[in-house]
Each structure stands twice: as C-alpha cells, then as structure tokens.
Amino acid sequence: MSTVKNTSEKTEKMEKKEKTVVRGLEDIVAAETGVSYVDGVNGALYYAGYNVHDLAGRTSYEETIHLLWYGELPNRIELADFRSRLVSEMRLPSQVIRMIELAPPNSHPMAVLRSIVSALGMFDPDVENNTLEANQRKAVRLTAQIPTIIADLHRVRTHQPVLSPDPHLGFAPNFLYMFRGSLPDQEETEAIDLCMMLHADHGLNASTFAARVTASTKSDMHAAITSAIATLKGPLHGGANQRVMEMLNRIDDVDEVKAYIEGMLDEKKRIMGFGHRVYKTEDPRAKHLRNISESLCHRANQGHLYEISHRIEQVVRKAKGIYPNVDFYSATVQHALGIPKEYFTTVFAASRISGWIAHILEQYADNRLIRPTSKYTGQYGRTFVPIEKR
Ligand code: ACO
C-alpha cells in the first residue's frame, strides 16, 4: 500500500515539474510537408513552391490538385487526362444516393457530407488497400464524388432531379451546374474555379492535422477524410463562412456596421471571418476573394452585401488590428453564385479535400504514429471504495 502511495507521490511531483502544455499546439512543429507553405509574417501562401498570387487566375482547380498530389503542374495532355478522370468519377453508387435522400431534412449539410463520405468507404473497392496505387485511385474517386454529394443533397432537398456531370465542363463548373441546374457563364466559371483553387491547401490547419492523425494510425483514406470534414465543420475553422453570411443578414445598411461591430466587440464576441492563428497580416487569399466578391455581388444586384462586408473589414481592422481570413469574402462569393449559406462549408470541403489527400499521402509515405502526450491535472493516490460502500 505504502509503495503505491510513494510511487504516486513521485509521479505527481514529476508531472507538475516537467511538463509544459502548449495550448492549442501553437507554433508546435508536428510534421514535415512539401505540400504548402504559409508565410504568416509576410502574408504569403505557396503551393508546392508556387506563390498563390502567381497561380490565381492562371491555373484551374484541377491543375492545382495535380500540383498538390504529384508535385508538378500538368502539361496540356496530362491536364486533359486528369480532368476527364475526375469528371468520369463524379457519379455516386445508387445506394449512396438513397442514403442522401434518407438524411433527416434538418440535418446540417456538413453532417450529411461527413456521414456520406464515411459511407462511401463501404462501397469503395479499394477501401482497405493502402498501396500508393490504390490510394491514388481513391484520391480521384473521393475528390470527384464530394461535389456530387453536395449537389445531390441540395437537389433532393429542393425537390429537383439530381443531375449527371456534363463531360464538356471542367470540374469546378460541373459542381455549380449539378448544384443549380443551370450552366455557369464565363465569369461564374472563373469565380468558382478560383475560389476552389484558393481553398485547396493551407499548411497544418486543424482539419489537415486531424486527417494526418487518422492516417498516422494507418487507417484508410475515407476514415481520414471523414475526420477532416468533422473538424472543418466547426465555426472556428471552415464553419465560419456560414456565420459570416448570418452576420451580413443581420445588418441592413452600411451605416449600421460601426455600431453593430462595436457592440459585438464590447460583448467580447468574435467577428466571424476575421483573425488567424498564422497570419499576422492580410491573408493573401482574402485579396482575391474580395475582388471576386465585389464583381459578383454588383453583377447579382447584391452590391450592398459587398459594401457592408468592406465596411466591416475597415471597422474590425481599426478596432482590433485583425484582418479578414479566407472565410470572410468567400461567403458573399458563394452567395452571389446562388449557393445557400448552409452549403458554404461543404464547398470549402470540396476544395480542401485536395490538400487533405496530399497530406494523407505524405503521411503514409513516411509514417510515424502521431501520439502526443498530456499533462495530468487530476487527483493522485485516491483510496478505492467498493461499490457497496459508496
Ligand atoms: N473577432 C474578435 N476578436 C478576435 C478575433 C475575431 N474574429 N480573432 C481573434 N481575436 C482576438 C482575440 O479576442 C484575442 O484578443 P485579446 O488578446 O485581446 O484577448 C486575440 O485576437 C488573439 O486571439 P486568439 O483566440 O488567441 O487567436 P487564435 O490564434 O487562437 O484564433 C481564430 C484564431 C480561431 C481563427 C480566431 O481568430 C477566431 O476565432 N476567428 C473567428 C472565426 C473564424 O473566422 N475562423 C476561420 C479561421 S480561417 C480557417 O480556419 C479556414
């Protein structure tokens, strides 16, 4: 008995002395990666060595996926082949469409997406095959199927027939077509493509970390992507874009912005779509999304939404010195493209899957189980009391 007590006292002393907790793992280096680099000080983002400013408007989302997965931008022949492989894999098994139809009508689209991706693993012929070849096949299939899940869910919920992908369209515009039922024009095509490209990867963010943790147990790709979607859903991460739209809907006029934002800050509330763990200056993605938002909002007779957003940016910057992140202007971009706010984060997932997969493949290629430790702050040396005496 006394030996047990001594050991527990020693452990208690050791535990209190030696461990330092880094809350939120801030600045902890937990992986090596060649996928993307976030330069928080200079406000720059690089995909496999390319500055996103150089890629924006000059590469399609498919070219970006190719870059993240294979390390190189494709030539024309490789791009045509990759694009047609993606579009040809966009169909879902009929049982999965049935599952989408059975989802409770009030369930959040991110909850449906998370569950359907998990279910898709049960139908994938390669699910338990963790070779590189099988993982590359699954990568294409899963990336192709996610936009279809989102589009089908929306079609089912709005009592419209689900649509098949149009083989003549690129990957991102195909999503818009299947979602809305109308062909996107040139400006919409460029907007959705750029929006998806800008969301493709972003260092070791929370959902990517979740994907890598799951992959590090040598669990399957569908499992890792399910973890990532579950993590992206939260309002402090990808779920912020929906909350941005909800905030915009509560403000009727540009003149109301200052009082509204100051009221929120006085109440110590967070302004959704602002702030970032890594960027200490402007998020480079926000610059492009702001431009698309301005143009699409005015075109769609929603100029007031852009004006309100821009005013919010000025007020928050002045009051808190923080900048919009990727979620802020992506809200009005998606709204102007005709996507309801509940689906905003699913579109983020449809883009970020390319980065998640690149990281999962990297993790499998040089795996070590991700298993940090914790500092125990509970009690020590308690005396056991049998159930009849409690
Ligand atoms: N609104 C108001 N104040 C903020 C915000 C915000 N959006 N973001 C940070 N701050 C303030 C905090 O109150 C804190 O101020 P204080 O020092 O006076 O208390 C300071 O900035 C630092 O905040 P932390 O919470 O320590 O920063 P952290 O790195 O943990 O948070 C996060 C980053 C979670 C993104 C935060 O900025 C936030 O909550 N933003 C709103 C949600 C959001 O937009 N999430 C999307 C992020 S991008 C993405 O995941 C795709």
Out of 2.60.40.10, 1.10.580.10, 3.30.70.1400, 1.10.3720.10, select the CATH number for domain 36-234+348-365: 1.10.580.10
- Active-site annotation holds for 255: no
pLDDT per position as a tens digit, 305-315: 999 999 999 99
272 C-beta closer than 6 A to ligand 1: yes
Report pLDDT for 19. 81
Report pLDDT for 41. 95
218 C-beta closer than 6 A to ligand 1: no
Q: Pick from 2, 33, 7, 3: which is nearest to 215 by CA?
A: 33
Report pLDDT for 180. 97
Report pLDDT for 83. 94
Q: Which one of the listed residues 66, 154, 276, 310 is annotated catalytic?
A: 276
pLDDT per position as a tens digit, 353-368: 999 999 999 999 999 9
Domain span(s) for CATH 1.10.580.10 in the chain: 36-234+348-365
pLDDT < 70 stretches in the chain: 1-8, 11, 14-17
Out of 2.60.40.10, 1.20.120.140, 2.40.128.260, 1.10.230.10, select the CATH number for domain 240-336: 1.10.230.10
Report pLDDT for 375. 93
232 C-beta closer than 6 A to ligand 1: no
Q: How far is the CA of 270 from the centre of ligand 1 (A)?
A: 7
300 C-beta closer than 6 A to ligand 1: no
Report pLDDT for 225. 98
- Active-site annotation holds for 193: no
Q: How far is the CA of 347 from the centre of ligand 1 (A)?
A: 22
Cβ-Cβ contacts under 8 Å for 187 (sequence gap 6 or more): 295, 296, 299
Q: Map tokens 């905003």 to a residue.
A: 344
pTM here is 0.95
Phi, psi at 36, each rounded to 5°: -150, 160
Domain span(s) for CATH 1.10.230.10 in the chain: 240-336
If 0-12 CB within 10 Å is exposed, 13-18 middle and 19+ buried, where does residue 259 land?
exposed
∠ CA 379-385-386 to the nearest 5 degrees?
140
Q: Are the C-beta atoms of residues 323 and 282 closer than 8 Å to each other?
A: yes
